[in-house]
Each structure stands twice: as C-alpha cells, then as structure tokens.
Amino acid sequence: MTQVPVFTAEQVRIAEAPLLAAEQPLMARAAAALADVVRRMFQDGQGDSDAPAGAPQPIATAHARHLLVLAGSGNNGGDALYAAAHLAEEVDVDVLTVGVRVHEAGLASALGAGARRVEIPAVREAAGDYDLILDGILGIGATDLDLRGSAREAVEALLPAVRAGRSRVIAVDLPSGLHPDTGDSGSHVLPASVTVTFGAVKAGLVTGRGPELAGELVLADIGLGPELDGFVPVGEASVSRVVTG
C-alpha cells in the first residue's frame, strides 16, 4: 500500500484548469490508466506474479470476458468510453449511455473499436453475465446524488449480481452517487470493488460511506502533481497502487 494526500473536488478542479487550458490530454491519460486496471482484473493470474501486493485481484473466467460500460453525460463517461476503445479488441464490451447527452467522440471511438451499444432491456437480460462493470455515470461535478431515469434503472438491474459477487464494479474516479467531499451518497449506488481515481484521491472516498462504496483505491497519475503542490491536503489515504496514464 502507498500513502498519498487527499484533496477536495474544488482543489482538483483548480489544478486541472491550467492543464485543460493548455490542451493537455487528461482524458486520454485517465482512459489509458483505467484500461490498464481493467486488463489486470481480467487476467487469469498466469504471468502476473510480479503484481504488487494489494493490487486489484484478477478475475478467472472460463467464458468470454464481458465488460459493461455505463457512460453518463460528463467527463467520467468520456473516460469510460475511451477506456472501452482500448479494450474492445480484447474483451466483449457493451456500452449503455445513461445521460441526457453522451461524449460523442468517446462513443464513436468505442464503437469504432468494436464495442456494442445496448439499451436497458438488454442489460436487464444480461445483468448476471457481466464480469466487470465500468461505472462512469457521475463525476465530481454532480450536485444531485440520486440517480434517475435509465441510470437508476441500470443500477437497479445490476445490483443483485454485484451484491452476489457475480459481477464486479470499477468506479471511474468515484462511485456514481457518492459526494466527492463528504462521502454522503444517494439512494442508488453501485458498490465498487475498485475505484480508479484520477489525479488525486478525493476526500469523499475516505470519509462517510466512501470506504464502504469505493473498495480498493487505485490512483491514476494524470499529471496534476505540480499543480496540486500549492494546496494543503485535507487528509491522507492508502492506495493499492499508482498507475500512470
């Protein structure tokens, strides 16, 4: 385990701003790191003896590896879609868009790589067949923690398989419906086995319901370090590993 500082969502947003203004590829870095974690969890364990202690455990499966991507309207949805594009030639990838809009370029990239777009009825039917679920519904900018519409329907359909251990969830930056600062949560949240958090660990992941819902924490270094140096951390967290996108 590695000890790292914890920051608020606002501190992270301020740190990101100059990099985004300079057109640094933060989303591409986040997606690459996310895809790396998914690959490691899909490994059958062979040839992975050098995996660090505390790294997300691999999934051993005798059938086709099946990934569901839940893509919301914001940047987390874009991160998940670009990660799907990295993975679609390696595993079966279904994409369910659950926001009022979608990251069009990310969706095109995922579908172009071989991912399949699905709707709620198909997700209900296949709910127990997904080995991994990428939760990219909401991000740190969400003000309403209660999921609605197709996002809520998807979570309700998937929760039984997740709770039974048939499917595992990787949260994109933080579990959707978890407040990034307080750790409060909405009524419908997919509990994650692993949360891949970008740039810095957010305070809500280690307080309130954060530890219960976030699972293992993996920090994706997307280049915010120099910008975050000017802030006083609000705490400290243990992460299983740090990956670079």
What is d(CA 169, CA 244) in angstroms, rounded to the nearest whole number? 21
Q: Binding site for (6S)-NADPHX: which residues? A: 75-79, 173
**Average confidence (pLDDT) over 75-80:** 96
How far, in Å, CA of 106 to CA of 91, rounded?
18
pLDDT tens by residue, 174-214: 999 999 999 999 999 999 999 999 999 999 999 999 999 99
How far is it, in rounded angstroms, from Cα 44 to Cα 210? Answer: 29
Cα(179)–Cα(184) distance, integer angstroms: 5
Taking the CA atoms of residue 155, residue 122, residue 30 and residue 59 in that order, the dihedral angle to the nearest 10 degrees is: 90
CATH class, range 2-17+25-43+64-244: alpha beta
* 45 has a pLDDT exceeding 80: no
Q: Where are the domains of the chain?
A: 2-17+25-43+64-244
**What does the pLDDT read at residue 56?**
54
Distance CA 222, CA 240 (A): 17
Q: Which residues are annotated as a binding site for K(+)?
A: 76, 135, 176
| pLDDT bucket at 65, cuts 50 / 70 / 90 | confident
Which residues sit in the known binding site? Answer: 75-79, 135, 173, 176
User: Half-sphere exposure (CA, 13 Å, Cβ side) for 118?
Assistant: 21
Q: What's the whole-number average pLDDT of the chain?
A: 90
Across residues 55-65, what is the average pLDDT? 51
